[in-house]
């Protein structure tokens, strides 16, 4: 029997020719894609929200700003107790078994909350003799005295915050004027701290605190660590995240601002934060990273994993996908 191979496609074309304008087709394709890109951007892109600033925070939530500043001065804020890479505390140091990456890397971005967020910015305020005297008195006092002053000032503010959260009448020791953005704290035994906090609030509302914390030796300002950590210690960022549905309460999903869907390829990372033990673990971040590292390594090593690397031979889906290719291959002659 004669063997018939596949059709020879290398012979010269003898059929009809038609004119074809490549430039015209390219122009139409680019125009349609551009129109679709603009239309989908308008309809589906996330809104361009204005950035949060210390000035905005101090105007909108002056009591929250004053409460946070008092904790920074007292060094009891989350940033002050965080640990590496900001300080040598161990409040938020994550680890897993013998893995301690935060401690191994050490303090690379040192932050002293009392000095960086309160003392040094206030030293830049000119022509204020009352503030200068308050700073001199505070810096000359022993550490125990400083802590006592800070705690005496912070206590009424904490009572005020609790009353607002529980929708109860605020204590008489704290008065907040929303129209002027001023906070008055009547605290006995607070020493020079009330004077310092009033000046710090005024500095923040003028925009000077933003500039003080963003001072950099580089030509371009790229390090926003200090103002972001200060705002994260307060309630501004949490309030905005609540409004924009960014608190991660939706199981296995990520959002951008508002109800706009976020990065779909990160669903697997966010999923692990919703299941135990990561859901309630203080070391959830390193646990999720280790899980994703093991899964990624397993995916890369599929060709070398016994049994798994033989699944394509046992389930020959590739033959179904490439069926036309296999049909066109030369068939062995059938014996007569």
Query: Max CA-CA distance within the chain?
Result: 114
Evaluate whether 157 touches 83 at the Cβ level (below 8 Å): no
Q: Would residue 270 count as lying in a domain?
A: no
Taking the C-alpha atoms of residue 332 and residue 18, their distance in angstroms, rounded to an integer, is: 40
Q: Would residue 6 count as lying in a domain?
A: no
Q: How many CB atoms lie within 10 A of CB 123?
A: 14
What is the percentage of the chain residues whose pLDDT exceeds 90? 23
Q: Would residue 204 count as lying in a domain?
A: yes
Taking the C-alpha atoms of residue 75 and residue 69, their distance in angstroms, rounded to an integer, is: 10
Please give the residue range of the domain that contains residue 134.
54-75+112-243
**Average pLDDT over every residue of 107-134:** 90
pLDDT grade, residue 119 (50/70/90)? very high
pLDDT tens digits along 222-246: 788 899 999 999 888 888 888 877 7
Dihedral sign computed on CA atoms, order 136, 137, 142, 143: negative
Q: Would residue 63 count as lying in a domain?
A: yes
**With b meaning 16 or more CB within 10 Å and e meaning fewer, what string describes 34-66?**
eeeeeeeeeeeeeeeeeebbbbbbbbebbbbbb
pLDDT tens digits along 155-169: 888 888 888 888 888
Torsion angle (degrees, nearest 10) of CA 319, 325, 326, 331: 180
Q: Would residue 307 count as lying in a domain?
A: no
pTM: 0.72
Look at the chain and report how many structural domains it folds into: 1
Q: How many CB atoms lie within 10 A of CB 209?
A: 28
Q: Would residue 23 count as lying in a domain?
A: no
SS3 state of residue 191: coil
Which residues make Cβ contacts (< 8 Å) with residue 195, sequence separation at least 6?
130, 131, 134
Evaluate whether 73 touches 185 at the Cβ level (below 8 Å): no
The burial class, CB within 10 Å (0-12 / 13-18 / 19+), for 117 is buried
Most confidently predicted of 127-131, 241-245, 311-315:
127-131
Q: Would residue 136 count as lying in a domain?
A: yes
Q: Would residue 87 count as lying in a domain?
A: no
pLDDT grade, residue 219 (50/70/90)? confident
């Amino acid at each position: 029997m004669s063997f018939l191979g596949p059709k020879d496609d290398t012979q010269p074309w003898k059929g009809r020719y038609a004119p074809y304008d490549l430039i015209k087709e390219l122009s139409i394709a680019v125009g349609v894609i551009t129109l679709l890109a603009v239309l989908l951007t308008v309809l589906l892109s996330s809104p361009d929200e204005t950035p949060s600033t210390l000035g905005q925070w101090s105007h909108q939530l002056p009591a929250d700003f004053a409460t946070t500043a008092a904790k920074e001065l007292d060094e009891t804020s989350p940033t002050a107790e965080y640990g590496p890479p900001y300080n040598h505390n161990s409040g938020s140091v994550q680890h897993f078994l013998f893995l301690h990456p935060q401690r191994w890397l050490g303090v690379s971005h040192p932050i002293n909350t009392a000095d960086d967020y309160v003392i040094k910015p206030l030293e830049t305020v000119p022509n204020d003799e009352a503030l200068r005297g308050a700073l001199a008195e505070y810096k000359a006092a022993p550490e125990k005295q400083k802590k006592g002053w800070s705690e005496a000032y912070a206590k009424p503010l904490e009572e005020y915050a609790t009353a607002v959260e529980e929708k109860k009448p605020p204590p008489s020791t704290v008065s907040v004027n929303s129209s002027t953005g001023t906070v008055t704290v009547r605290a006995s035994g607070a020493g020079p701290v009330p004077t310092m906090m009033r000046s710090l609030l005024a500095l923040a509302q003028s925009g000077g605190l933003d500039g003080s914390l963003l001072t950099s030796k580089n030509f371009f300002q790229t390090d926003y660590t200090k103002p972001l950590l200060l705002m994260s210690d307060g309630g501004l960022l949490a309030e905005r995240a609540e409004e924009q549905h960014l608190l991660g309460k939706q199981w296995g999903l990520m959002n951008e601002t508002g109800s706009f869907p976020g990065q779909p390829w990160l669903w697997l990372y966010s999923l692990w934060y919703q299941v135990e033990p990561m859901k309630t673990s203080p070391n959830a971040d390193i646990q999720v990273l280790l899980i994703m590292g093991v899964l990624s390594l397993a995916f890369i090593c599929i060709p070398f994993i016994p049994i798994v690397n033989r699944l394509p031979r046992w389930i020959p889906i590739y033959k179904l996908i490439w069926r036309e290719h296999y049909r066109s291959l030369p068939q062995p002659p059938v014996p007569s």
